[in-house]
């Protein structure tokens, strides 16, 4: 993008199924990365782990990625961001909390 924001080209097909928030609907600081995806072994269409493409430039530590809080607010200005940009729009925290409690 011209404003320097990091853009993921095409959201992974499982992006809507990744668990991004805690039970109260608050955005998690880190997310687990799918260990099978880059080996071509993930066959779960509703996989709850991040499907991270090789070469995205996102830093992975202990099989987890840190969420870019700036991007979550729509304000990341880094030319290259080492943090994970959530590729789907998230509902407000109260809605996420209701969903989390419903799914448990």
pLDDT at residue 7, as a whole number: 38
- How much is the pTM? 0.73
Longest dimension (CA), the chain: 42
Buried b (16+ CB within 10 A) or exposed e, 22-56: eeebebeeebebbeebeeeeeeeeebebbbbeeeb
Where do the domains of the chain lie? 1-89
CATH number for the domain running over 1-89: 3.30.1370.210
CA distance 52 to 11: 10
Instruction: Convert the pLDDT of each residue in 60-104 to its tens digit.
Output: 999 999 999 998 888 999 988 999 999 888 766 666 666 666 655
């Amino acid at each position: 993008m011209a404003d320097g924001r990091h853009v993921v080209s095409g959201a992974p097909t499982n992006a809507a199924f990744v668990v991004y928030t805690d039970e109260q609907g608050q955005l998690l600081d880190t997310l687990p990365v799918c260990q099978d995806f880059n080996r071509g072994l993930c066959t779960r269409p509703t996989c709850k782990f991040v499907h991270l493409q090789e070469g995205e430039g996102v830093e992975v530590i202990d099989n987890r990625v840190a969420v870019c809080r700036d991007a979550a607010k729509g304000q990341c200005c880094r030319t290259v961001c080492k943090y994970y940009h959530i590729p789907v729009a998230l509902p407000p925290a109260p809605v996420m909390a209701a969903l989390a409690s419903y799914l448990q």
